[in-house]
Structure 1
Amino acid sequence: MSNQDKTSWFQVKVREGQEEETVKNLLAAFKTQNLEAQLKDVFVPFGDYGKGRVCVQLELNQTTKEAVESTAGVVGFVGGNILKPLNRKELLQLQGYDELQGNPRRAENAFEVGGTVTIVEGPFQNLKATIKEVDAANQKLKLTVTIFGRSTETELGFTQVE
């Protein structure tokens, strides 16, 4: 088994209209500073939630905080000096899920074949999986999980992965 994931999700204020460009800037900044391993994911939130915001999943420490704050297009972390990680409900909402029913609001864009997800429920919890097939109509994913060097296929709902 791998080490426990030390990353959390945070919202970052960015210049409105420059959200996608800021995502690229963040990825480049972390690569340039050899901090790629500490930045796990970045995305622009769904719909109106995405105006002037970007979500980052990272291992928060002084170095990564400064790397985010010094990136072109970034205004600062939401919350200022009091950085509070997003909870699961907030994250699902920002990713475009209907928080009451767990239904994706943008299923066709949420997952891509060949992409990697982390399983958050069930016997494969906390393991990485590769997306083999996306069934948007039924909100299901066919995944391949590698355990002890052997690949196993499984099918999970959209809300069981992140």
Structure 2
Amino acid sequence: MKWFVIHANTGHENKVKRNIEMAIKSNHMEDSFGEVLVATQEVTEMKNGKRSTVKRKFFPSYILVEMIMDKDTQHFINSIPGVTRFIGGTPQKPQPITRDEVDRILGRISAPEEAGETLEIPYEVGDSVQVMDGPFTEWVGVINEINRDKGKLKVMISIFGSETPVELDFLQVKPV
């Protein structure tokens, strides 16, 4: 079996994935198909000063299908509602993706479990922020450095006319 990429209607990837899986079962085609995947990754976001974990598609509109490609299976996939086309090759002869590409994609899907979550930060160096927690509550400073691995910011706060670096957690500040 080889991996193929199909294009699905945007925003309906999970529904199309379920349609494919149900159609495979109801047509007893399990021998011709392996896994069906929508590539997602858990990302931690900061919204309104709170951390929340969401699943993000890192290939929106695309579904990975492990299958034996022949005219019947190709027609079968193309006939499922929400599938627009195969990606790669020609409409008559779709090309599978390489083993390297599959390994990179599957590695990226499983990476959050192995390496911790990815933290998405809505701040950049130079942004003004207000401290919401800790000894500098309500003070305003400018972000000088971002450490995404530790989830920390270095904020320069003016104390008695002197710029002082203060290390803060992302949750301790809000944009000004």
Q: TM-score, normalised by structure 1?
A: 0.54
Q: Verify: 1:16 aligned to 2:10, yes or no.
A: yes
The structure richer in strand per residue is: 2
Pick from 63, 77, 86 the counterpart of residue 68 of structure 1. Answer: 77
1:71-129 deviation per Cα after TM superposition (whole angstroms, max 9, x unaligned): 1111110024241111122112322439xxxxx53236xxxxxxxxxxxxxxxxxxxxx
Q: Size of the alignment, in residue pairs? A: 97
Q: Which has the larger radius of gyration?
A: 2
Q: Verify: 1:95 aligned to 2:115, yes or no.
A: no
Unaligned runs of 5+ in 1: 1-6, 99-103, 109-162
Q: Secondary structure in 1 aligned to 2:96?
A: coil
Partner of 1:140: none
By how many angstroms is 1:48 displaced?
A: 5.0
Superposition misfits of 4+ residues, deviation over 6 angstroms? none
1:14-61 deviation per Cα after TM superposition (whole angstroms, max 9, x unaligned): 011111111110011112222122111100123554200000001111
Using the alignment, how far apart are the partners of 2:5 and 2:100 within structure 1?
14
Q: Secondary structure in 1 aligned to 2:11?
A: coil
Unaligned runs of 5+ in 2: 41-55, 115-176
Using the alignment, how far apart are the partners of 1:31 and 1:48 within structure 2?
25
Instruction: Give the aligned CA root-mean-square deviation in angstroms.
Output: 2.0
Task: Give 1:14-53 correspondences, 5 Å limit.
Answer: 14-46=8-40, 47=56, 49-53=58-62
Q: Secondary structure in 2 aligned to 1:22?
A: helix
